């Protein structure tokens, strides 16, 4: 699935993300060439299907399609609802079997051996880890309803001992991944200090902590540049070295950052500035933090 799920895409069309799945058999060998995988999503556009391997030179057992930012952009008012604005779910499905622990090492599932009991794969749009009416599911047996795990092992290694405890039939398997369609704009909130101006002794070490979240309350776009600078009268920013680049995140409420600095050697006053620049060069801030050096 995507390497970084938080992309600048809530107000930007045409942002592309490669979506890769890796498939293996129960011996953890790559799935056979030609294994088909289907995709769907509740946000943006995604390639409908691919087969392993998806391109010449691609690793065995892998399959890649492209997700592209566009409408729809899901949110709590969507039907079915998403957890928050811009949180899109991609579901990949294929035909397979349930995995099990081969306790006696004979290569077959036998009654009493632990196995992963699967229901029909579904797209968990509201991220509550359970199927809710209206969420997309792969109706593998075409009975019109979502089928939960039924306690019966399904796989070609079923021994039929006793025959009622397993089935040699295949079933639908799936994996899902979030895409965070992050806004270009960023909310920058100071968490610490709580009293301003920040007072610090000359040459002492200090720190500030701040939160960054997009305008939907989620993580900012990966690749955004976070710049922290200070007036010369304040001192020198140390731990963050002036700027860092935002990495991968799906956190609701954004992410917290801490910046250390060394106060100037003489008394004075000035400001620390926090600025964020998105991958498309949209600038948010600066957050201005007044500092007094005693």
pLDDT in tens, 262-274: 999 999 999 999 9
Q: What is the pLDDT of residue 1?
A: 44
Mention every residue, 6+ apart, whose C-beta is less than 8 A from residue 194.
none
Q: 265 preceded by cis ω (within 30°)?
A: no
The pTM is what?
Answer: 0.88
3-state secondary structure of 164: helix
Rounded distance, CA 81 to CA 181, Å?
15
- Tell me the pLDDT band of 27, cut-offs 50, 70 and 90: confident
Pairing of strands 87-96, 36-41: antiparallel
Structure tokens at 202: 């000359």
CA nearest 261: which of 202, 211, 213, 188? 202
Q: What is the pLDDT of residue 16?
A: 94
Quick: pLDDT tens for 29-66: 999 999 999 999 999 999 999 999 978 888 889 999 99
DSSP 8-state class, residue 5 = -
Residue 56, Cβ density class (10 Å: 0-12 exposed, 13-18 middle, ≥19 buried): exposed
- Tell me the pLDDT band of 173, cut-offs 50, 70 and 90: very high
| Average pLDDT of the chain, as a whole number | 93
Number of Cβ within 10 Å of residue 79's Cβ equals 8
Rounded distance, CA 221 to CA 249, Å?
9
Region label for 163, one of left (φ > 0), alpha (ψ between -120 and 50) or beta (otherwise): alpha
Residue 262, Cβ density class (10 Å: 0-12 exposed, 13-18 middle, ≥19 buried): middle
Q: How far is CA 227 from CA 109, 213, 284, 285, in A?
A: 56, 15, 11, 10
Q: How far is CA 55 from CA 16, 61, 62, 63, in A?
A: 18, 11, 9, 8
Element (H, E) at 262: strand 255-263
Q: Is the pLDDT of residue 26 over 90?
A: no
Rounded distance, CA 174 to CA 146, Å?
14
User: DSSP letters along 215-252, please?
Assistant: TTSSPPPTT-EEEEEE-TTTEEE-TTTTEEE------T
Q: What is the pLDDT of residue 243?
A: 67
Delineate the domains of the chain, giving CATH numbers in brackets. 1-182 (2.60.40.10), 184-293 (2.60.40.10)
Rounded distance, CA 20 to CA 87, Å?
19
Q: Is the pLDDT of residue 163 over 60?
A: no
The partner residues of 116 in beta bridges, in order of sequence, read none
CA nearest 286: which of 191, 166, 188? 188
In this prediction, residues 85-100 reach a mean pLDDT of 96
């Amino acid at each position: 699935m995507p390497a970084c799920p938080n992309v600048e895409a809530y107000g930007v069309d045409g942002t592309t993300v490669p979506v890769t799945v890796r498939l293996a058999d129960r011996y953890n060998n790559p799935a056979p060439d030609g294994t088909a995988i289907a995709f769907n999503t509740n946000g943006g556009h995604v390639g409908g299907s691919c087969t392993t391997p998806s391109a010449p030179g691609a690793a065995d057992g892998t399959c890649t399609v492209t997700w592209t930012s566009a409408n729809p952009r899901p949110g709590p008012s969507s039907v079915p609802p998403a957890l928050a604005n811009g949180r899109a779910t991609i579901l990949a499905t294929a035909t397979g079997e349930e995995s099990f622990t081969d306790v006696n090492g004979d290569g077959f599932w036998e009654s009493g051996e632990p196995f992963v009991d699967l229901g029909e794969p579904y797209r968990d749009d509201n991220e509550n880890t359970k199927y809710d009416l209206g969420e997309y599911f792969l109706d593998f047996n075409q009975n019109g309803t979502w089928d939960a795990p039924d306690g019966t092992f399904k796989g070609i290694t079923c021994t039929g001992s006793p025959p009622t405890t397993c089935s040699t039939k295949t079933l639908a398997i799936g994996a899902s991944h979030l895409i965070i369609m992050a806004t270009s704009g960023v909310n920058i909130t100071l968490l610490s200090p709580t009293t301003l101006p920040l007072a610090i002794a000359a040459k002492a070490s200090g720190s500030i902590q701040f939160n960054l979240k997009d305008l939907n309350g989620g993580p900012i776009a990966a690749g955004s540049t976070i710049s922290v600078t200070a007036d010369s009268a304040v001192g020198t920013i140390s731990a963050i070295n002036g700027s860092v680049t935002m990495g991968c995140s799906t956190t609701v409420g954004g992410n917290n950052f801490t910046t250390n600095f060394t106060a100037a050697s003489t008394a004075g006053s000035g400001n620390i500035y926090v600025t964020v620049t998105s991958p498309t060069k949209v600038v948010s801030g600066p957050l201005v933090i007044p500092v007094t050096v005693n």
